Structure 1
Amino acid sequence: MKLVVQVKLLPTPIQGAALEATLLACNEAATWASQIAFEKGVKQNFALRKLTYHQAKARWGLGAQAAQHAIKKTCDAYATLRANLKAGNLGSPASRRYRTAAGKPVAFRHDSAQPFDDRMLSWQITEQTVSIWTTGGRMKHLAFTASPEHLATLALYRKGESDLLCRDGMWFLNATCEVPEAELNTDPVDFLGIDLGIVNIATTSDGEIMAGRELNRIRVRERGLRTKLQKKNTPSARRRARKRRRKEARRAKDINHKIAKHVVAEAERTGRGIALEDLTGIRERVRLRKPQRATHSSWSFAQLGQFIAYKARRAGVPVVYVDPANTSRTCSECGHIDKANRVSQAFFACRFCGFVDQADRNGSRNIRARAWQLWRRGVESTAPALPPRQRGGAGRKRSITASDARCASPAL
């Protein structure tokens, strides 16, 4: 499977200026090629290359490979735009957002990522340097830093293109690695159910609760600080706001990585699979009051699910997605379903048999039971997709069938 390893470049001021000029030239050429593609209606790679290749090289001083990658990046951007328009991600054809996106050429920021292939970029991993093409010539001995684990992955599995990008004044290379997968465990002894939430980020059917109260407090503090800085709107306030950009996202990503690693390691150690809820479209299905919207929007359940999925795939652990309907209202002991069973966010008390448990732990046990039921039915090894026109409320009851959830080792 493909993994992306990110390394941080350590350029000198002169090297940084050369990288900045290179990225600027490539993105200006890509934006110009995008305008030609929009005006001529030519958005296929080889057809657009005939119209723009020689002029891109002459006008911006690009090499042959850099010009081809800039043109291909333009075509890929239009392909992504077409897919988003077709899927309805930008609204209906009559909406203003749809017309705005479809009615103008794609433009690239000056610091947008630029792909480099092996003709333009060579790695010296033991010396932790790279040799990279720039508009000013070949730049050698450009230092980079990475963890020992990342260096080992690069040395063994690096394959394909690497993307050069600049973010918040720092330079990075994203290298594509083809990492072999472990053999899938086709005979798990059981499943480890995982209930994903906001207050408790992840709760396992073993009873382990990974709480997110500290992260939520940090998010509230960061949100308040952003509001104050935006209202102040002075040069120093804007400088502080830029400095704190993505800090919350980086912290959440680090926590999600740690949780996913722990969950997969536990499942692998005990010979079990992993059961997750299929939360596709939950943001559209759930209506919230205004004070809750910011917290719900910052809930990174999709990222945590992706981390669990790819780490499980690498370890050979099967992953099953189940229908989330009523998992929080069903008693894991007797199976009784009642809205009143969920006494509060934290507690569950069955109105039929009197069973009492922590609410998320009860939900994770229901997820485990549904996954085990589906596995015994012999479900296919594909990730589930929410059927169109079936985006009902979160509490809507649906029967659990193989079409609702399938065994998966999802792609990245």
Structure 2
Amino acid sequence: MKLVVRVKLLPTPVQALVLEATLRACNRAATYAARVAFEEKVFSRNALQKLVYTDVKATFGLSAQPTVRAVKKTDDAYTTLRANLKAGNLGKAGSKRWVKATGSPVEFRPDAAQPFDDRCLSWQYDSRTVSIWTLDGRLKGLRYTGQVDQLKVLAEHRRGESDLIRCKGKWYLLATCDVPDPEVYEPVDFLGVDRGIVNLATTSDGTNHQGRRLTGYRRHHARKRAELQARGTRSATRRLARRTKKEHRHATQVNHQIAKEIVSAAQRTGRGIAVEELDGIRDRVRPRRSQRDTFSSWPFHQLGQHLEYKACRAGVPFIAVDPAYTSQRCPRCGHTERANRSDRDHFLCRRCGLAGPADHVAGVNVRNRARSYGVSPARAKPRAWGRVLVNAPVPGPD
């Protein structure tokens, strides 16, 4: 499993100036390489490196390895751009957004993250210092700090590049760590998780993680954003960007807390986790105009990602099931009908009379669908667990 550990650098004022000059020079070099690649239509890494290597070293004062990393950074940027164009993330060909993305070369911000490999950056874990290449030579004894558990992961599993970034005047290193996956146990049952807007997550045990506080928080920020957008000043634009990032951090923290509780409950009881496969739901569902903002800001995908990686890290089996009819199917008699769910909060089976909270019933259906794939309470034979899509039964005539 790939994890990213962020440690905070503690440079002196002189060291900070050297780091800033180095970061800006590397980004100017990458921007220059991107412009040459765009003008010459050369996007192969090796061909681009032959084209700009000498000029970058002479013009921007970089040594050999930082020059290679700057070219690689440019190549990665154009690879990402091509992937987004192919996936349609930048609109259709010829659209305004598509033309803007393809009509000019890629540019890098002066303080954009810069990758450093082991030739340019070395770690001294015992003394908690790093030695990093700069324009003024090797900067040794640069102290860093971080959380105890993160520092332990860093010392034991760090592999590959580390990114130097500057955020709000503070310096950080993002280190990639290759942590071995723990052995996944064979579950005795599954914990079904239904994701929603009003209730962010509801488990088959009946545990409900409400999203009302997050919804209210988002509405508050939406009003503030509308006020700032109406002003249209440069100061309002800066405040708008800060407010957007703050809202995103808050939603991420809420998803982390929910995912941690669900994974802990599954691990404690020896069960696996089953969720609905909701990828592409925004393309399939057309909400009302009044619901579009809420639906587009629904953080279900991030919650699913947090559940998956936390389950993988804890050795908890994780599967995704087909979401079809999970909110309309009766878990007791199997009767499936839209009328079973009279409103958003309540479920009432028209055949057997089973009633209960709609999200809880959906969570039970997710659990039952996972059972049909791989395990029953009596235990099934071991199998390889992963992200498996379990097809839903198509409701037939009753």
Look up the SS of the partner of 2:24 in the other structure.
helix
1:339 lines up with 2:343 in the alignment: no
Q: Counterpart in 2 of 1:374?
A: 373
Q: Counterpart in 2 of 1:167?
A: 167
Look up the SS of the partner of 2:350 in the other structure.
coil
The aligned amino acid for 2:163 is D
Kindly state the Cα deviation for residue 108 of structure 1 after the two structures are TM-superposed. Answer: 1.8
Kindly state the Cα deviation for residue 21 of structure 1 after the two structures are TM-superposed. Answer: 2.0
Q: Counterpart in 1 of 2:14?
A: 14
Q: Deviations for 1:137-193, whole angstroms, at most 9, x for unmatched residues?
A: 3223333331111111111111111111223333221110111111122x3111110
Kindly state the Cα deviation for residue 233 of structure 1 after the two structures are TM-superposed. Answer: 4.6
The aligned amino acid for 2:13 is P
Kindly state the Cα deviation for residue 101 of structure 1 after the two structures are TM-superposed. Answer: 2.6
Partners in 2 of 1:170 and 1:244 — Cα distance? 19
Moved more, 222-231 or 344-353: 222-231
**Uncovered stretches (5+) of structure 1, i.e. residues with no partner:** 387-397, 402-412
| Alpha-carbon contact 1:278-1:384 (below 8 Å) kept | no
Partners in 2 of 1:240 and 1:38 — Cα distance? 34
RMSD over aligned CA atoms reads 2.4
Kindly state the Cα deviation for residue 313 of structure 1 after the two structures are TM-superposed. Answer: 1.1
Partners in 1 of 2:152 and 2:265 — Cα distance? 24
The aligned amino acid for 2:175 is A
Q: Deviations for 1:357-408, whole angstroms, at most 9, x for unmatched residues?
A: 111111111111111112259987554689xxxxxxxxxxx8559xxxxxxx
| Alpha-carbon contact 2:31-2:106 (below 8 Å) kept | yes
Q: Cα 1:47–1:240, aligned 2, differ >3 Å: closer, same or farther? A: closer
Q: Counterpart in 2 of 1:23?
A: 23
Partners in 2 of 1:400 and 1:67 — Cα distance? 57
| Alpha-carbon contact 1:323-1:400 (below 8 Å) kept | no
**What does residue range 224-263 of structure 1 map to in structure 2 within 5 Å?**
224-233=223-232, 237=236, 240-241=239-240, 243-263=242-262
Partners in 2 of 1:385 and 1:113 — Cα distance? 37
The aligned amino acid for 1:87 is A
The aligned amino acid for 1:151 is L
**Uncovered stretches (5+) of structure 2, i.e. residues with no partner:** none
Kindly state the Cα deviation for residue 29 of structure 1 after the two structures are TM-superposed. Answer: 1.1
Moved more, 63-72 or 369-378: 369-378
Look up the SS of the partner of 2:37 in the other structure.
helix
**What does residue range 248-397 of structure 1 map to in structure 2 within 5 Å?**
248-375=247-374, 383=387
Q: Cα 1:9–1:300, aligned 2, differ >3 Å: closer, same or farther? A: farther
The aligned amino acid for 1:100 is K
Look up the SS of the partner of 1:20 in the other structure.
helix
Q: Cα 1:297–1:120, aligned 2, differ >3 Å: closer, same or farther? A: same
Q: Deviations for 1:296-343, whole angstroms, at most 9, x for unmatched residues?
A: 222211111111111111222111111111111111222211112222
Partners in 2 of 1:123 and 1:373 — Cα distance? 49
The aligned amino acid for 2:76 is D
1:35 lines up with 2:26 in the alignment: no
Q: TM-score, normalised by structure 1?
A: 0.87
Kindly state the Cα deviation for residue 87 of structure 1 after the two structures are TM-superposed. Answer: 2.4
Look up the SS of the partner of 2:374 in the other structure.
helix
Q: Name the count of aligned residue pairs.
A: 389
Q: Cα 1:224–1:170, aligned 2, differ >3 Å: closer, same or farther? A: farther
Kindly state the Cα deviation for residue 195 of structure 1 after the two structures are TM-superposed. Answer: 0.7
Q: Counterpart in 2 of 1:220?
A: 219
Q: Cα 1:229–1:96, aligned 2, differ >3 Å: closer, same or farther? A: closer
Partners in 2 of 1:114 and 1:162 — Cα distance? 8
Q: Cα 1:334–1:385, aligned 2, differ >3 Å: closer, same or farther? A: closer
